[in-house]
Amino acid sequence: MDPVIWSKLPQELLEHILCFLPLKTFLSLRSTCKHFNSLVFSPTFITKHSSGSGSGLCSFLLLSHQQFYSHFPLYDTIIGSWRDLALPFSLFPPFGSSQFNLISSSNGLLCFALPSCCSFLVCNMLAKSSRVIELPFFPFSFELLTLVSTPKGYKIFTLCTKFSSNQAFVYDSVVHSWTEHDGYQPLLFENFHQEGAFYDGSLCFTTPEPFSVVCFDLGTGKWGNLNVEMPRELTFVRLVSGVSDRKKLYMLGGIGSNGISRSMRLWELKEGKKWEEMERLPELMCRKFVSVCYHNYEHVYCFWHRGMICVCCHTWPEILYYKAERRSWHWLPKCPWLPDKWSCGFRWFSFVPQLHALA
């Protein structure tokens, strides 16, 4: 560690070494010199870090619960351990931190609803940046809100239930404004916790029985139908799309009759024409899952996380997940900080910190 030798290290080699550091370690180095601090905003360094080994070292399942007011439990899916994420209230507007709800996440960004401020807050906790987004009007009752990352920023989709014929609203971070579009009839509100699945430029949703898939094109603001025959004897369905490969759409559903699921299966949409069955949930795991949700499937929601399809229930603290690479099902252990008396209100999100995700 001779300073004479290290002081002659070419700048590009130094940045290459730094990009392999875990994000938390690198951020702690920012206060040591102006150059390290400026690297956070350097496009070349961000590109190197995002493609280097450091980008794969942070991958969490985040638990949001109303009793965890000032922090979020995180499950590190890389090393299989729990840790804690303290909320940086400096990112919140004045009076906005008194009441908030985490409602969506995408590509390292978290979206909060701030009822007391009549606004949303999108923030990157890693880069310590945030943006307050005013609601289109007040009161604004929203459903199915989904945060979607785009190459130039992000979009927020939501349906407003103020009108008898619901309207769709889309916020674009590039132009910092909302646009209003036609809603969809009949109403899609069978599940209040399930977000839209982003597939091939559109957000996909399922309708109540008779089940079908409808799509909202984020580019044109138009609705359409996915004209693919659905499997028979469905009791409930949920859609999931891979963040890394948005040209794949998966469907999880229960098979049974009279609202009772005898089995749970996973399908993949092949060439936009056919649902092809991939896997079936083992019988004992299926029995446990349908028992914990009491066959009340409106509490069931799914999302994609780093090669995993996570299946959650608003009334159950554990996660059932499918590892696509290994084609195997598993249960995520219960968070050790959860008291036994907490029986509902469990909201899970995929959280993969990214320096380049700008709020």
Residues 6+ apart with CB under 8 A from 95: 116, 117
Which pair of structure tokens corresponds to residue 296? 């009340």
Residues 226-265: tens digit of each pLDDT:
999 999 999 999 999 975 556 799 999 999 998 899 999 9
Mind spelling out the 3-state secondary structure of 320-340? EEEECCCCEEEEECCCCCCCC
3-state DSSP assignment of residue 286: helix
The model carries a pTM of 0.84
Residues 6+ apart with CB under 8 A from 2: none
The mean per-residue pLDDT over the stretch 344-359 comes to 88
Residues 6+ apart with CB under 8 A from 295: 235, 259, 260, 261
Residues 305-321: tens digit of each pLDDT:
999 999 999 999 999 99
Domains of the chain: 3-51 (no CATH), 60-351 (2.120.10.80)
- The Cβ-side half-sphere exposure at 41, using a 13 Å CA radius, reads 6
3-state DSSP assignment of residue 154: strand
pLDDT for position 46: 62
Q: Quick one: how far is CA 27 from the chain centroid?
A: 24
pLDDT for position 250: 96
Within a 10 A sphere around the Cβ of 131, how many other Cβ atoms?
18
